[in-house]
Amino acid sequence: MFRRWIALLLPCSMLVAAGQPTTPAPSHIPTYTSDGRLLPPSDYREWFYLTSGLDMSYTPRVANSEGMSMFDNVFVAPEAYRAFLKTGTWPDKTMLVLESRGAESHISINKAGRSQGQDVMGVEVHLKDESRGGWAFYAFDNAVPAKMIPKEASCYSCHQQHAAVDTTFVQFYPTLLPIAMRMKTLSDSYLKEEVKDGK
């Protein structure tokens, strides 16, 4: 999911038109400008945390060819999380945020492994809005409202083909995957891939 988003959204983010900074959205409810751009979620660090990955990639190589190492942290709006706990899937208006941060070595007294740095390398949103055609991706450049990434982008087809629940990569959310398994909300395509992989 992480590296998928990154790998697919970095080129996609070239499509994000610049605009005037706007007051960030104050809540978990998606808020759009009059021309349909999504306001960046201002308070996602106070949402519920789902997981982190380090240098994940959906191609068999080191994620970042420039030798850069990154953590990806995923957050979800609390209302959507609580709905998932009850139903095993996502309600309308669900917002997932993928935050990318540099992975650092030898910070302070840390002598091995990686810690997270202060620089946010990217913020992307995966938003389910039935009134606007269902799930959509947005990539933010600082606090500027973002245009929806066009549905032809490969991120959509990849999530459709490989994501465990409702086009989201719940297979990487350790507290939610067991719920989806119990509630039998795993997608057919994901279940077929797991069988194929002998899992």
Closest approach of its own copies to the CB of residue 137, in Å: 17
The answer to the question of residue 42 lying near its own copies (CB under 8 A) is no
Contact 28, 35 (CB under 8 A): no
The answer to the question of residue 172 lying near its own copies (CB under 8 A) is yes
Q: Which H or E run includes 90?
A: none
Q: Which H or E run includes 3?
A: helix 2-12
Choice between 15 and 177, CB closer to its own copies: 177
SS3 at position 7: helix
Give the pairing type, strands 95-104 and 134-140. Answer: unpaired
Sole binder of its own copies in the list 144, 153, 177, 183 (CB under 8 A): 177
Amino acid at 172: F
Choice between 71 and 138, CB closer to its own copies: 71
Rounded to whole angstroms, the Cα distance separating 11 from 58 reads 15
Amino acid at 76: V
Residues in the chain: 199
Rounded to whole angstroms, the Cα distance separating 70 from 116 reads 8
SS3 at position 187: coil
Task: List the structure tokens of 39.
Answer: 């306001």
Q: Which region among 1-9, 19-27, 135-143, 148-156 touches its own copies (by CB under 8 A)?
A: 1-9
Q: Which region among 28-36, 112-120, 121-129, 149-157 touches its own copies (by CB under 8 A)?
A: 112-120
The answer to the question of residue 26 lying near its own copies (CB under 8 A) is no
Q: Which region among 12-20, 23-31, 109-117, 121-129 touches its own copies (by CB under 8 A)?
A: 109-117
Choice between 27 and 36, CB closer to its own copies: 27
The answer to the question of residue 33 lying near its own copies (CB under 8 A) is no
- Residues of this chain, 67-86, that bind its own copies according to CB under 8 A: 71, 73, 75, 78, 81
Rounded to whole angstroms, the Cα distance separating 159 from 7 reads 13
- What is the binding site for its own copies (CB under 8 A)? 2-4, 45-46, 48-49, 51-63, 71, 73, 75, 78, 81, 101, 103, 107-118, 162, 164, 169, 171-172, 174-175, 177-178, 190, 193-194
